[in-house]
Structure 1
Amino acid sequence: MYNCAIILAAGKGKRMKSSIPKVLHRVCGTEMVNIVIDVVKKAQIEDIDVVIGRGAEQVKEATKSRNVKYSFQNKQLGTGHAVLCASDFLKDKEGTAVIFTGDSPLIEEDVIEDMLNFHNKGRYKATILTSIVKDPNGYGRIIREKNGEVLKIIEHKDCSLEELKVNEINSGMYCFDIKELVESLNKLHNNNVQGEYYLTDVIEILKNKGERIGALPVSFEEIMGVNSRVQLSEAEKVMRNRINNVHMENGITLIDPNTTYIGLDVRIGKDTIIYPGNVIQGNTVIGENCILYPNSRIKDSVIENNVTIQSSVILESKVGENVTVGPFAYIRPESVIGNSVRIGDFVEIKKSIIGDKTKVSHLTYIGDAEVGNECNFGCGTVVVNYDGKVKNKTLIGDNSFIGCNTNLVSPVKVNNNTYIAAGSTITDEVPEGSLAIARAKQVNKKGWVYKKGLRK
């Protein structure tokens, strides 16, 4: 059976009070519309059309890696009009079209699969995903006949007093027989309070033809839409709880899940312990037996096994096994930290390679450098990589000892098995096996204080 999907993502989202299209607001680090696209694909639906309108170019840019098609809704004249704008996408197709909204990021793949199975098994021409709630205010109601069959969907503003008492609400998510959908879209009118073309009226059109309409109730959490910043925070909380529960079930210890923020695409190995206040984002992979003490941020990075991180930031980098990082370290993009390395407090690494067993213990900046194995950096070392025009490279060989308060002025090379005296400013190559001293000779002027009358 052929299945395709239409995702409605053209709305203005006025209640968000944002210059960003509503569907591009993020939940657990991922744009809502991309969450919906990814879930639909996990449900084995690959042919997806996104209906865009407000901020169309921004939405296309944000979703371009998802390999989807696009339809454009120039004016937002209702959900029926939005699907009508996807007519070219539906043309000559036979099978089932599922319709979702780009601002409902909590739908899960098993619910989509259940809806399709329910739709096909019942041989319905349309199936509505619904939910039964205590407070249906603001939602369209599912009106059923006495035998339980769906009669129609009616928008809240168009409800009678009796219809307002109904607690089964419309999610705005559907399955349709494609041919019946296309035919019904051409019969829509806008004779309602809003003056819009409702997709919900397709249900009534099909019903009047004598077609069977299915309705599958699910948890409200699955269908919850986001129309405001408050609802965005509620969706964030639900999604974060789901993500954290999966990690804990997979053998990760979260000391306080309520204050641990893990993105949708993050992978973590078993027996890793994560303390409160950690933010782990993007395509980050963390190995086994790691300890993340409070208040670190890690994004788009690979952290190997047995790594300890304290109150540090790691961005778009790789950290090898048995490494300690922090507290208060900053590993900037395109850095590669070898195995058994120590990156200590107030250390910044920028676009550099640090070899195995090297120690950079405190108050040091290393930028645009390649550092060998088993080196030691004294406190206050600075790789001076920028000359005001370009960033230059520094090469440091194996087993080098860099004394405290050393400046390595790039481009410069320090060969294997070298020592650099504390306080040196190195501008020339240091040969292998050498001690480099680059500082002024100390001069003591006896009695100078007394001669100047400066004694207190």
Structure 2
Amino acid sequence: MVKEALGDGLSLGADISYVDQPSPKGTANAVEAAKDVLDGEDRFLVVYGDNYYGPRAVSRLVEMSRRASSDLLIGAARVLDASQFGRLTVKDGVVGGIREKSAKKGAGEVIAGLYLMDQSIFPAIVKTKLSTRGEFELTDSIQSLIDQDRRFRMVLLNDQEWLGISYPWDLLGANRLALDLMESARDGMVEPGVHVHGMLHLSRGGVIRSGCYLEGPVFIGEGGVVGPNAYLRPYTVIGPGAKVGAYCDVKNSILMERAKVPHLSYVGDSIVGAGCSLGAGTITANLRFDDASIVSMVKGRRVDTGRRKLGAIIGDNVRTGINVSLLPGVKIGPGAWIGPGVTVGRDVVAGARIKR
């Protein structure tokens, strides 16, 4: 996925090389896999691939390294519930220790998955033992350096510079942050009779047909088609080759590449995977009657999403028949088919065939 998105980096003004991690043995093992590529580099950045970082996040670490040239750096963020992240103990901006995820809730500074390191990390990785999760943890390697009096300074990122992605619905928050920074573009075709209010990025080959009403920010990828007579509300992304057809309402949602919502459907606060096809009259309910926060099942336990509004999380290549209703917070596994007239009130496993 990363290779497909970035390629060799030339179009971005960069030169990108790729290193395979033969088997997923943890974050320390991933860094170790890049050892030969990093040979000769005095310092380098390590950035986790499963978080959102704003454009200033990396430059903040680089700027700090120039002011504190002898220190290594850990990007951090302050959150209200630190239980989902590795937690830092900090005094006067210097990291004294790292604690891995725990059930204990409460506010605190947590690891943002962004580091500035030097070659000293590699001997520490070699000595790192397998964790209780069965992985070689980079945080354990860093802790061993801290125990040897190697100084790591914290760089605190704000809520526009970092968002941790722990659950699928966190992508909606990351999407909001990214679209707030989006630049306007009209590289596709806008037919007469289209009303646009707010920021719109229409990519090459995209088409907005007559009668559509758009409230930005809205992003339409290459070859994306909207309308005629469709309504796109703020923080909506229509991926490359995706389609939203007549009399559809899409709000605060992400439609991946080639997803199709052809007609008479509502998609709100949802994620629709690549290659999906939603039949006419498919509705994603996104609000409970009691206005309470929506709960979703994750690995057999109920997780409070912290969201008053949340629709469906739909995997790749899912198909729904006509008049399908998806209740708030349900997740549909890749390749599942939902037959006509079905109301889905619980998660659906990958490849399932659900009939009325």
TM-score normalised according to structure 2 size = 0.51
Aligned to 1:189: 129
Instruction: Give the percent of matched residue pairs that are identical in Structure 1 and Structure 2.
Output: 22
Deviation, structure 1 residue 138: 0.8
| Structure 2 residue 139 is the aligned partner of structure 1 residue 200 | yes
1:33-72 maps to which residues of 2 (within 5 A)? Answer: 33=2, 60-66=3-9, 67-72=15-20
Tell me which amino acid in the other structure corresponds to 1:107. Answer: Y
Contact 2:74–2:116 under 8 Å retained in 1: yes
Aligned to 2:60, which of 94, 101, 114?
Answer: 114
Contact 1:79–1:198 under 8 Å retained in 2: yes
For residues 64 and 173 of structure 2, the distance between their equivalents in structure 1, rounded to whole angstroms, comes to 29
Structure with higher helix content? 1
| Structure 2 residue 109 is the aligned partner of structure 1 residue 168 | yes
Deviation, structure 1 residue 255: 4.9
Unaligned runs of at least 5 residues, structure 2: 10-14, 186-194, 205-211, 241-245, 247-356
Contact 2:146–2:152 under 8 Å retained in 1: yes
**Residue-pair matches, total:** 218
| Structure 2 residue 41 is the aligned partner of structure 1 residue 73 | no
Unaligned runs of at least 5 residues, structure 1: 1-23, 25-32, 34-59, 249-253, 267-273, 285-291, 301-310, 312-456
Tell me which amino acid in the other structure corresponds to 1:76. Answer: P
Structure ID, larger Rg: 1
Tell me which amino acid in the other structure corresponds to 1:154. Answer: R
Aligned to 1:51: none
Deviation, structure 1 residue 242: 2.4
Aligned to 2:35, which of 87, 97, 112?
Answer: 87
Aligned to 2:214: 276
Aligned to 1:237, which of 166, 171, 176?
Answer: 176
Aligned to 1:96: 43
SS at 2:53's partner residue? coil
Deviation, structure 1 residue 197: 1.1
Q: Deviations over 1:69-88 (max 9, x none)?
A: 11111221211111111112
For residues 125 and 48 of structure 2, the distance between their equivalents in structure 1, rounded to whole angstroms, comes to 18
Tell me which amino acid in the other structure corresponds to 1:113. Answer: S
For residues 68 and 120 of structure 1, the distance between their equivalents in structure 2, rounded to whole angstroms, comes to 24
For residues 166 and 141 of structure 1, the distance between their equivalents in structure 2, rounded to whole angstroms, comes to 10
Change (3 A) 1:193 1:280: closer
Tell me which amino acid in the other structure corresponds to 2:170. Answer: Q
For residues 81 and 299 of structure 1, the distance between their equivalents in structure 2, rounded to whole angstroms, comes to 33
Contact 1:124–1:211 under 8 Å retained in 2: no
SS at 2:115's partner residue? strand
SS at 1:72's partner residue? coil
Contact 1:131–1:168 under 8 Å retained in 2: yes
User: More displaced, 220-229 or 198-207?
Assistant: 220-229
1:263-342 maps to which residues of 2 (within 5 A)? Answer: 275-276=213-214, 281-282=220-221
Tell me which amino acid in the other structure corresponds to 2:98. Answer: I
Tell me which amino acid in the other structure corresponds to 2:50. Answer: D
Q: Deviations over 1:331-353 (max 9, x none)?
A: xxxxxxxxxxxxxxxxxxxxxxx
1:110-189 maps to which residues of 2 (within 5 A)? Answer: 110-145=56-91, 147-157=92-102, 165=106, 167-177=108-118, 179-189=119-129
Aligned to 2:151: 212
Tell me which amino acid in the other structure corresponds to 1:193. Answer: T
TM-score normalised according to structure 1 size = 0.41
For residues 220 and 277 of structure 1, the distance between their equivalents in structure 2, rounded to whole angstroms, comes to 24
Tell me which amino acid in the other structure corresponds to 1:199. Answer: L
Deviation, structure 1 residue 183: 2.6
SS at 1:110's partner residue? helix
Contact 1:276–1:293 under 8 Å retained in 2: no
